[in-house]
Chain A
Amino acid sequence: MATTAVSKKTHRRRAFSRGDRTTLGLFVGVPTFLHIALVWIPAICTILLSFTYWNGIQLSNIRWAGLANYHTIFTASPLFWDALRNNLYWLLWFTFLATPLGILLAYQIDRQIKGHKFYESIYYLPVVLSLAVIGIIWQFMLGPSGFVQGLLGYGIENAIPIFGNYKINTYVILSIASWRHIGYVMLLYLAGLKSVDPSLREASAIDGATEWQTFKRVIFPSMGPVNVIVIVITVIESLRAFDLIYIIYGTSTGWPILGMLVFQNIYGQSASMLGAAYAVILLLLSITPIVLYLRTVFRDENR
Chain B
Amino acid sequence: MSNEVKGNGVSRRTVLKGAALGGLGVVGGGTLLSSCGSKKADGPVKFTVRGTGEAGIKIAQAVNDAYTKKTGIQVTQQAVESNPFQDGISQYLQGTPDDAFGWMAGWRTNHYADQQLFHDVSANIKNLGDQLPASFVGGATNPADGKQYIIPTTWYPWGLHYRKSTMQSLGLDPENIATWDDFMKLLDGTKKKGLVGYALGDKGGWEAMGTFDVVNARLNGYQYHIDLLNGKAKWTDEKTINTFKQIGMLIPYMNKNVLDISWEGMRDLLLQKKCGAMLMGSWFANDFKAQSQADYDDLWLVPFPEINPEFGRDSIDAPLDGIAVAANGANPEGGAALAEFWASEEGMNAAIAAGSTDLYCNTKMDTSSYDAFNKQKLAVVAEAKHIMFFLDRDTRNDFATTVGIGIQNFLKNPADLNKVVDSLQASWEALPAL
Contacts and interface: CB of A to CB of B under 8 A. Distances in A.
B16 A269 contact: no
B2 A20 contact: yes
B295 to A, nearest CB: 16
A251 B204 CA distance: 8
B71 interface: no
B327 to A, nearest CB: 12
B24 to A, nearest CB: 6
A42 interface: no
A253 B83 contact: no
Given A254-B203, A254-B408, A269-B89, A26 B21 contact: yes
A65 interface: yes
Contacts of B17: 19, 22-23, 26
B260 A78 contact: no
A164 B397 contact: no
B427 A267 contact: no
Interface in B1-49: 1-2, 13, 16-17, 20-21, 23-24, 27
Interface stretch (B269-277, B313-321, B330-338): B269-277
Given A65-B432, A250-B205, A269-B397, 10 more contacts: A15-B2, A30-B24, A156-B265, A157-B269, A160-B257, A163-B260, A164-B258, A252-B405, A254-B203, A264-B401
B405 A23 contact: no
B108 A267 contact: no
Contacts of A71: 430
B203 A250 contact: yes
Contact of B90 (A79, A164, A254, A269): A269
Contacts of B135: none
A231 interface: no
Given A76-B423, A158-B256, A270-B398, A68 B404 contact: no
Nearest to A77: B427
Given A19-B13, A20-B13, A143 B423 contact: no
B416 to A, nearest CB: 10
B255 interface: yes
B353 interface: no
A179 B274 CA distance: 35
Contacts of B383: none
Contact of B275 (A26, A53, A157, A163): A157
Interface string A1-38: 00000000000000101011011001100100000000
Contacts of A163: 260
Given A27-B20, A72-B430, A269-B86, A157 B405 contact: no
A15 B2 CA distance: 6
30 contacts: A19-B13, A23-B16, A26-B20, A27-B20, A53-B432, A57-B117, A58-B116, A76-B423, A77-B423, A144-B260, A145-B268, A156-B261, A156-B265, A156-B272, A157-B274, A161-B257, A161-B259, A165-B260, A166-B412, A249-B203, A250-B204, A251-B83, A251-B205, A251-B401, A252-B205, A252-B404, A252-B408, A267-B88, A269-B108, A270-B401
Interchain residue pairs A-B with the least CB separation, the first 3: A270-B398, A164-B259, A164-B260
Contacts of A15: 1-2
A143 B260 CA distance: 8
A71 B429 CA distance: 12
B239 interface: no
**Interface size range on B against A:** 35 or more
Contacts of A55: 90, 115
Contact of A58 (B24, B91, B115): B115
A270 to B, nearest CB: 3
A156 B274 contact: yes
Which of B112, B269, B432 has the most chain A CB atoms closer than 10 A to its own CB? B432
Contacts of B23: 30
Could you tell me the dominant secondary structure of chain A's interface residues? loop
Contacts of B399: 270
Interface string B68-105: 00000000000000010011111100100000000000
Contacts of A254: 203, 259, 408
A68 B429 CA distance: 12
Nearest to B202: A252
B147 interface: no
B90 A23 contact: no
Interface in A242-299: 249-254, 264, 267-272
A118 B257 CA distance: 39
B209 to A, nearest CB: 12
Contacts of A145: 265, 268
A231 to B, nearest CB: 33
Contact of A156 (B117, B269, B413): B269
Interface string A30-70: 10000000000000000000000101111000010100100
A271 B426 CA distance: 19
Contacts of B432: 53, 63, 65, 68, 272
Nearest to A82: B409
Nearest to A78: B423
Contacts of A78: 419, 423
Given A68-B432, A157-B196, A250-B204, A272 B405 contact: no
B16 A251 contact: no
B256 A161 contact: yes
Contacts of A56: 90
Contacts of B91: 267
B259 A144 contact: no
Contacts of A68: 432
Interface string B385-410: 00000000000111111001100100
Interface string B421-434: 00100110110100
A155 interface: yes
Nearest to A56: B90
Interface in A144-169: 144-145, 155-166
A263 to B, nearest CB: 9
A168 to B, nearest CB: 12
A156 B427 contact: no
Interface string A65-104: 1001001100111110000000000000000000000000
B68 to A, nearest CB: 32
B86 to A, nearest CB: 6
Contacts of A165: 260
